[in-house]
Chains A and B, each alone.
Chain A
Amino acid sequence: MTEALQGGAVVAAAAIALFFWRFHRQTGDRFFALFATAFAIFAVNRGVLLALDDDSEARTLVYLVRAAAFGLIIVAIVDKNRAPRSARDG
């Protein structure tokens, strides 16, 4: 049961990463590249968790990878607030 849920999460996170990547292509805003990467990492991270088979979210590698993903989101937000406003909103 839990495995099915996790498998679904892998696919969902990967799909979200693709959507954000598309936003990145549309807007040229690197904010979306960072978000896309973060969700891609979520997908890989959860995939690895699944492959490891046992419930090992405390494992060093796994949590470091997860930290990296959230770190990217934080970087994206910080970056968004430092970058000059885009041409559109002048």
Chain B
Amino acid sequence: MPNDPLSPDVRRFVADVIRSVNELELLLLLREHQDRAWTPQEASARLYQSEGWVAGHLEALVVLGLAAREGAHDAPAYRYAPGDERTRRTIDALAEAFARRRTRVIALIYRPEPSSAERFADAFRLRRDDEDDA
């Protein structure tokens, strides 16, 4: 569906979990190669990110329940492992949106968090127009 807006699940996932495009790319790298585990070195070479950054964020993905740590303690590797089916589907939808509507997803990631006052006022908008620009 070409005009399919980003689903509420995707929006929520981005708001709660994804703070930068780099983080999204790391998650999508794991998703794309679900059959293998990535060491920080490998992932950092692939994403052109520092190894330290990648290592930290791979750990964060484990904490978020999106990846599993494998391998020895001093040589960890990480595999895509979202806990539940719904999260898996949400990330699939996000991956597709990122492939097809990249600017829109990027805008969503960097959108300033509305204050609670703004969210309260926005609750009274009857028309469910698509929240974000793009």
A residues adjacent to B (C-beta < 8 A)? 23, 26-27, 29, 31-32, 76-77, 80-81, 86, 88-90
Contact = CB atoms under 8 A, between A and B. Distances in A.
A80 B125 contact: yes
B48 interface: no
Interface in B102-134: 112, 114-115, 117-118, 120-122, 124-127, 131-133
Nearest to A23: B117
A32 B124 contact: no
Contact of B120 (A23, A77, A89, A90): A23
User: What are the 5 closest A-B residue pairs judged by CB atoms, nearest first?
Assistant: A23-B117, A90-B133, A80-B124, A77-B124, A31-B121
B115 A26 contact: yes
A88 B114 contact: yes
